[in-house]
Chain A
Amino acid sequence: MNNMYRVCFHAARQAAGLKASRLLQHRAFRASAMHRQQPFDSSLEKPQFPGASAEFVDQLEFIQPNVISGIPVYRVMDRQGNIINPSQDPELSKETVLNFYQKMTLLNTMDRILYESQRQGRISFYMTNYGEEGTHIGSAAALDPSDLVFGQYREAGVLMYRGFPLDLFMAQCYANADDLGKGRQMPVHYGSKDLNFVTISSPLATQIPQAVGSAYAIKRENANRAVICYFGEGAASEGDAHAGFNFSATLECPLIFFCRNNGYAISTPTNEQYRGDGIAARGPGYGMMSIRVDGNDVFAVYNATKEARRRAVAENQPFLIEAMTYRIGHHSTSDDSSAYRSVDEVNYWDKQDHPISRLRHYMTARNWWSEDDERSWRKQSRKMVMEVFERAERRLKPNPELLFTDVYQEMTPNLNKQRESLWRHVQQYKEHYPVDLYDK
């Protein structure tokens, strides 16, 4: 096989008349000329392999896997919300910081209510964002609203920051007639064309090479836009992650890979997910700029994303941000994480190292936020969520006609036939189908 490949590669070169083969001939000529003039000195030889620029060595030595290890974690605030290095303070206005805080806590409130509603059987499924609010808000705030977002499924805060109304979150989770996705997907699979947030799909990591393709098309438009692609450290094990990293580097795409390393892929801890130094360590292997940040420090996330975004667009190259965080909630409503991690561990992150409490410390120290503010905001946000929640629950489900549309852009003859056959059947057996719950 090897021989075959070489032979045909050579043929291909000849056929295409590539300059490379001339270059090789030239090198060969130079080498033999040198040979004639002076005694052979092997130390002068340089590797000529097309696949790597390197030096020869004469000692047998394997590269240690820890050649990249202990990539530091960039942070701006300590756990008490103090700015560590003033040069890194993003110096955001009070209004902006309050907005960060309100979005993070509103997300938290929405999570609590929807989680509860699933427990009561009102919606079929839910996934909370507890503990990862800093990664969502910090990154979303650093982007331009026109930047295209490819999410995984635990990035509701990004959409909330962009202004997706609570009504539409609820409509999606209830799959009611207001759902932009027409009731076709499980809860938390949000999407918004207006807010440049590509609709979530369940398969993991499929969005990664797609984000690269979009970034490539956007680069060709020359419109000062970037793409951000979110995924977890578990999804980074999928083949699609490798594909996306490699394509983005070779095709020079203005793209930010944002990995939420939250410690668990359902129950699988990181030490069973990968060897090596996390996800950021993979960046150099792909020839990609990388950084690791404290995901529970919203300012660190903001700074890293902002700079990555600026350079991605200016230089047409991808950036990899690994935001270290912790998934405080269960994976989903179908999971009970007490089966695989201790309550103490969860409590540590919930009580000692939470992105919301860290930002609150920062605000409190500046007298931007009082106990009273907190109480009244908590009450107000809960009321807002409960109101839309009740509205969403009362709303009818989408018209069943929507079962058949959007498979193709046009209705096909066989789908028309199947649709008509369903209606005839439902007319005949009305009492067995929940027709009254659906829009007509």
Chain B
Amino acid sequence: MMAAAARFLIRGANPKLSISGGGTLLKLSPSCSSRTKTQRRHAAHFTYHPDPVPTQYGPTTKMNLFQSVTSALDNTLASDPTAVIFGEDVAFGGVFRCTVGLRDKYGKDRVFNTPLCEQGIVGFGIGVAVAGATAIAEIQFADYIYPAFDQIVNEAAKYRYRSGNLFDCGNLTIRAPWGCVGHGSLYHSQSPEAFFAHCPGIKVVIPRGPVQAKGLLLSCIADQNPCIFFEPKILYRAAVEQVPVESYTIPLSQAEVLQEGSDITMVAWGTQIHVMREVANMAQEKLGVSCEVIDLQTILPWDVETICKSVVKTGRLLISHEAPITGGFAAEISSTVQEECFLNLEAPISRVCGYDTPFPHIFEPFYIPDKWKCFEAIKKMINY
């Protein structure tokens, strides 16, 4: 696909890589400030809140999100001799560096490049899993997962059901970088989880940081159902935590209450969790409103109970995601909560999401459901 452009973007963001000759070509006139206007686009729309250091899984080490993914894959390759990892450019370490060192450590028959073809990658992965081996497929960007839509929706999701449990591809995990990145434009920014949420038979999981990413990814790999694991690519380097070195799992289909509160429930996943945490602080400071922040973590099958229990307590619900609002997963949560908690609601459920447009390049600061939009939604709900 058109990943070449993104590779450029990603590499451009890595100060360790110099592009030969580039330094002398770009000469700025004296009137051009070294702090150019376009640099501002790199300013993140959130402040990363690291998780506390986990104590229950043994020794930890400092890792960013892509390193915690590598660590999970490393644990899997070490413990499961059938496990194979494949996709576009994974052999040399992947365009996001998630598979660095794994080919050299485990061999080129276990960590390998495939031809550039997403439907092939997923179809191949299904076949590996059907034969009983563990398949970990990488789609280079979630935006490029659509050629594999048929293999995921019609094949992976239905394999067990249609064969009466004779055959399944539960050993398949599909990883894909996901979500906005500040400069990714239409095709390096998408959050396609809602497309897959309409598909019984698969699980869809999105972590908020390195510790969660490793535990949830290892759960996806161990889970006996095909899983899609979306990795917030803006966090690959930005999110750094103390991550356990050994293997551990975090249960799927369980939301996590990150901050307890009494006035409003805020539900999100992935990067948006960090926006929500900041908004919760703003709401407390500026409005005296107590927010309960919940990370849904698994989009499908999702944890209805935790969300509804919280809404029964707070009476208000704000859901926020980057994907377009119409038909987004917030709509599903909203509908279910309305059915389950109708009499507990003090205000209409509020969704703060992306607009119903493609992901717009230079307009990203206006498009994303940032803290000010979420803050405003809280004000409205409290004053309803």
Chain A residues with CB under 8 Å of chain B are 1, 4-5, 7-8, 10-12, 14-16, 18, 148, 150, 179-182, 184-185, 189, 191-193, 198-199, 201, 203, 206, 208-218, 220, 239-240, 242-244, 246-247, 250-251, 405-409, 412-414
Residue from B17, B22, B135, B163 within 8 A of A199 (CB atoms): B163
With the chains together, A201 CA to B161 CA distance in Å?
Answer: 11
Chain B residues with a Cβ under 8 A of chain A: 2, 4-5, 7-8, 11, 17-20, 22, 82, 84, 92-93, 109, 112, 114-115, 117, 119-120, 122-133, 135, 147, 150-151, 154-155, 158, 160-168, 170, 200-201, 203, 224-225, 253, 301, 304-305
Question: Could you tell me the distance between the alpha carbons of A239 and B133 in the complex, rounded to whole angstroms?
Answer: 25
Contact B160 A16 (CB under 8 A): no
Contact for B164 among A184, A242, A243, A412, CB less than 8 A: A184
Residue of chain A at shortest CB distance from B303 = A413
Which one of A5, A179, A247, A250 lies within 8 Å of B4 (CB-CB)? Answer: A5
Q: Is the pair B5, A1 in contact by a Cβ cutoff of 8 Å?
A: yes
Cα-based distance from A244 to B92 in the complex (angstroms): 23
Q: Are B127 and A214 in contact (CB under 8 A)?
A: yes
Partner of B155, one of A206, A218, A250: A206
How far, in angstroms, from A185 to B84 measured CA to CA in the complex?
31
B124 touches A212 (CB 8 A): yes
Contacting residues, chain B, for A192 (C-beta < 8 A) = 166
Given A184-B161, A246-B117, answer yes or no on A206-B301 (Cβ-Cβ < 8 Å): no
Q: CB < 8 Å: which of B7, B128, B160 contacts A216?
A: B128
Q: Which of B109, B150, B167 contacts A203 (CB 8 A)?
A: B150
Q: Is the CB of B120 within 8 A of A193?
A: no
For the complex, what is the distance from the CA of A213 to the CA of B151, rounded to whole Å?
A: 13
Instruction: Given A210-B130, A408-B160, output 17 extra A-B contacts at Cβ < 8 Å.
Output: A8-B7, A12-B7, A184-B162, A191-B166, A198-B130, A201-B155, A206-B151, A206-B155, A212-B123, A213-B135, A214-B127, A217-B128, A240-B119, A246-B117, A406-B165, A407-B200, A409-B225
B167 and A4 form a contact (CB under 8 A):
no
Known contacts: A1-B5, A11-B11. The answer to whether A201 contacts B158 by CB under 8 A is yes
A-B contact pairs, 8 of them (CB 8 A): A4-B4, A7-B8, A209-B151, A213-B126, A214-B127, A240-B119, A246-B115, A250-B114
Which residues of A sit under 8 angstroms from B19, Cβ to Cβ? 7-8, 10-11
| 7 closest cross-chain pairs (CB), A and B | A213-B127, A209-B123, A243-B120, A199-B163, A210-B127, A217-B131, A182-B164
**Chain B's nearest CB lies how many Å from the CB of A261?**
22
Query: For residue B84, which residues in chain A have a CB less than 8 angstroms away from its CB?
Result: 216-217, 220
- Contact B129–A213 (Cβ < 8 Å): yes
Q: Is the CB of A414 within 8 A of B304?
A: yes
Contact B129 A413, beta carbon cutoff 8 Å: no
Cβ-defined contact, B127 with A406, below 8 A: no
- A216 to B82: give the CA distance in the assembly, Å: 11
Cross-chain contact B128 with A214 (CB below 8 angstroms)? yes
B114, B130, B133: most-surrounded residue (chain A CB, <10 A):
B130
Name the A residues within 8 Å of B203 (CB-CB): 408
**Chain A nearest Cβ from B147, distance in angstroms:** 7
Q: What's the least CB distance linking A39 to chain B, in Å?
A: 32
With A and B bound together, what is the CA distance between A185 and B166 in angstroms? Answer: 13
The answer for the CA separation of A213 and B167 in the assembled complex, in Å, is 14
Other-chain residue from B17, B112, B123 in contact with A14 (beta carbon distance below 8 A): B17
User: Contact: A247 with B114, CB < 8 Å?
Assistant: yes
* Contact assessment for A210 and B112 in the assembled complex, using a CB-CB cutoff below 8 Å: no
Q: How far is the CA of A10 from the CA of B4 in the complex (A)?
A: 12
CB pair A239–B147 under 8 Å, yes or no, is: yes
Known A244-B123, A408-B225; contact A181-B162, beta-carbon cutoff 8 A: yes
Of B2, B112, B124, B135, which is in contact with the most chain A CB atoms at under 10 Å from its CB? Answer: B124
Query: Is A193 a contact partner of B119 (Cβ separation < 8 A)?
Result: no
Could you tell me the distance between the alpha carbons of A243 and B201 in the complex, rounded to whole angstroms?
A: 24
Whether B115 contacts A409 by the Cβ 8 Å rule is: no
Cβ-closest chain A residue relative to B133: A217
Residues of A close to B11: CB separation below 8 A: 8, 11-12
The smallest C-beta distance from A425 to any residue of chain B, in angstroms, reads 16
Indicate if the CB atoms of A4 and B8 lie closer than 8 Å. yes
How long is the Cα–Cα vector from A361 to B120 in the complex, in angstroms?
A: 44
Contact of B8 among A8, A239, A250 (CB under 8 A): A8
CA distance A318 to B262 in the complex (A): 63
Q: How far is the CA of A413 from the CA of B254 in the complex (A)?
A: 12
Shortest Cβ distance from B147 into A: residue: A239
Residues on the A chain within 8 Å of B128, using CB: 213-214, 216-217
Question: B residues within 8 A CB of A213?
Answer: 123-131, 135
Decide if B93 touches A413 in the complex (CB within 8 Å): no
Complex Cα spacing A7 to B8, Å: 8
With a cutoff of 8 Å between Cβ atoms, the chain A residues found around residue B164 in the complex are: 179-182, 184, 191, 199, 406
CB <8 Å contact, B123 and A201: no
Q: How far is the CB of A238 from chain B (nearest CB, A)?
A: 9
CB pair A407–B123 under 8 Å, yes or no, is no
CB distance from A88 to the nearest CB of B (A): 33
User: CB-nearest residue of chain B relative to A402?
Assistant: B164
Smallest CB-CB separation from A246: which chain B residue? B115
What's the least CB distance linking B10 to chain A, in Å? 9
State whether B162 touches A201 (Cβ < 8 A): yes
> Complex Cα distance A182/B4, Å?
46
Contact B123 A4 (CB under 8 A): no
- CA separation between A191 and B161, bound complex, in Å? 12
**Given A203-B150, A406-B165, is A212 in contact with B127 using a C-beta cutoff of 8 Å?**
yes
Name the CB-closest residue of A to B168. A409
